[in-house]
Amino acid sequence: MSARAGLAGLFALAWLAATPAHAGACCLSSSAFGIGRLALWEQFAIIVGTSASPVAGRWDERRAWHDGSTDYAETEWRAQLSALVALHERVQVYGRAPFVFTQKVAGELSESGGGLGDSQVGVRLEPLAQGQVPYVPEVSISLGATLPSGRTVAGARTPLASDVTGRGAWVLLAALTFEVAQDDWFAQLAGGLTYPLAMAGVEPGTTQQFGTGLQASLAGGYELRKGLVASLVARVAWEDNVKVDGVSLPKTAAFDFGGGPNLAWELSDHLTLQAGADFNIFRGGFGANRQGRTTVNLGCRYAYF
Amino acid sequence: MLRLALRWMLVMGLAAGTALVACGVEPEEAPPPDGGPMNTTADAGPADGGLDGGTPAVPTNPLVFAVTIVPDPARLGRNVLSVIIRGTNGVPVPNANLSVGVFMPAMGHGSSETPVVTVNGAGEYTVEHVTFTMQGTWRVTLTATAGDLSGTTVLNYGVN
């Protein structure tokens, strides 16, 4: 696998791993994994992407799966603008701004709405580059934060809150990633931590804090032909109980499994197209307190060097 | 809890399907969140016991809430609560200051709308815009004060 193709595959993974919508915008946990990285020769990159994510059902607090009912439908569309800038060959900063649009139908109620979602900023450090030490994978560390730039349920203007685009919490993010590329294939193992800060509670005078989250993903890719890389990713995300005034609310922890195929196509030295899908496992036991969705993604990455 | 509820229903002539809650009753388990039967919990006030053992918690001036929701079972979107508030002597409490909070514990957010309380007289109140924005278990907290009488009750609704 050429160095460029391997990076193209990893770029696709990074973008797609950050976008699966396993919950509505009101309740979506932050992704700890950032938006990927720049190649050694790249000075900055801009990524534009879009996704569509219909709801298939949900898991309740007992991990029981409920198929979507015939009189309820929800789909989220998301357009995302991301940028990466190299400060040093081992240090990159990134930012991401999502725009969320949701349509909901419940019985005779039908509504839609959207706006700017919760944004992210962060820095990626690469203490160990690919090939720097023989037989040792590349190691990178991402540190970032989610900004509550979206509209929360409290600011919703419709009964079903379809114009909600964010969760309302500052979240600290950290991730550790190991990557290796060899011949025609590459592999990536990533683990992340999310720590939401306390915020004003729903009831006046109270404080609330979403649970600490742990995320992990495992991916592998293969160069089908020059410049075309296919990959598969499996991911899991877990979040601890919600707390109100420091007291943990029982049975509010959440988790879900998911994954799917991705494709990255290098159109030129500067331009890469990305596409993929993410699926939850729509059975009991594979989630809790989360909606189950299928997410389809398309993206385009332009890098300058 | 069932014996207590039946005793109150006989005394007050409440209709079937009405949730009856009195302050001081031991909290119960949350209901299945799939549109199943509504269940209730009550604020026990002093945390030193309840009906199932220990010293019963006896609030100084408790209130009794009888609550029905329309539609039943609760649905996505707007619902309406009919609330009857009485003292423990069974006398209706008119013109109580009733506030209603709506919260979804698993998602950590409230409702998109603020409930609107209408005082109908004779201890009866209507609460409109009890709005559930997504499927799952919702917690509705009713707090009432009237002079030296006060009470809080918490109800859980499963929305499918």
Once rounded to an integer, what is the mean pLDDT over residues A32-41? 82
Once rounded to an integer, what is the mean pLDDT over residues A157-184? 93
How close B107 gets to chain A, by Cα (Å)? Answer: 6
Interface test with A, best of B39, B79, B135 (most A CBs within 10 A): B135
Name residue, tokens 């917690």: B139
From A276-280, B9-13, B53-57, B146-150, the region with the lowest mean pLDDT = B9-13
ipTM of the modeled complex: 0.89
Interface test with A, best of B34, B99, B112 (most A CBs within 10 A): B112
Once rounded to an integer, what is the mean pLDDT over residues A77-97? 95
Q: ∠B26-B58-B85 over CA atoms, to 5°?
A: 80
pLDDT band at B56 (very low <50, low <70, confident <90, very high): very low
pLDDT, position A3 = 54
Measure the CA–CA gap between A87 and A92, rounded to whole angstroms.
Answer: 6
- Gyration radius from chain B CA atoms: 15
Q: Looking at chain A, which runs of residues are DSSP E strands?
A: 44-59, 65-67, 72-88, 91-106, 109-116, 119-128, 138-147, 171-182, 185-196, 199-200, 207-209, 213-225, 228-239, 243-244, 247-248, 254-266, 271-280, 287-288, 290-304
Task: Give chain B positions within 8 Å (CB) of A158.
Answer: 112
DSSP conformation class of A23: S
How close B34 gets to chain A, by Cα (Å)? Answer: 8
Tokens of B31: 């209901």
A242 vs B: CB within 8 A:
yes
pLDDT band at A14 (very low <50, low <70, confident <90, very high): low
Statement: residue B50 has pLDDT above 60: no
User: What is chain A's mean pLDDT, rounded?
Assistant: 90
| Tens of pLDDT, residues A113-156 | 999 999 999 999 999 887 788 888 899 999 999 999 999 999 99
Measure the CA–CA gap between A289 and A40, rounded to whole angstroms.
Answer: 41
Task: Give chain A positions within 8 Å (CB) of B116.
Answer: none
Nearest CA to B39 among B77, B80, B2?
A: B2
pLDDT band at A11 (very low <50, low <70, confident <90, very high): low
From A35-39, A249-253, B27-31, B59-63, the region with the lowest mean pLDDT = B27-31
List Cβ neighbours of A187 (8 Å cut-off, separation of 6 or more). Answer: A179, A180, A218, A219, A220, A221
Once rounded to an integer, what is the mean pLDDT over residues A222-231? 92
pLDDT, position B104 = 97
Instruction: Answer for the pair A58, A292: CB distance below 8 angstroms, yes or no.
Output: yes
Once rounded to an integer, what is the mean pLDDT over residues B44-65? 49
Coil, strand or helix: which one is A52? strand
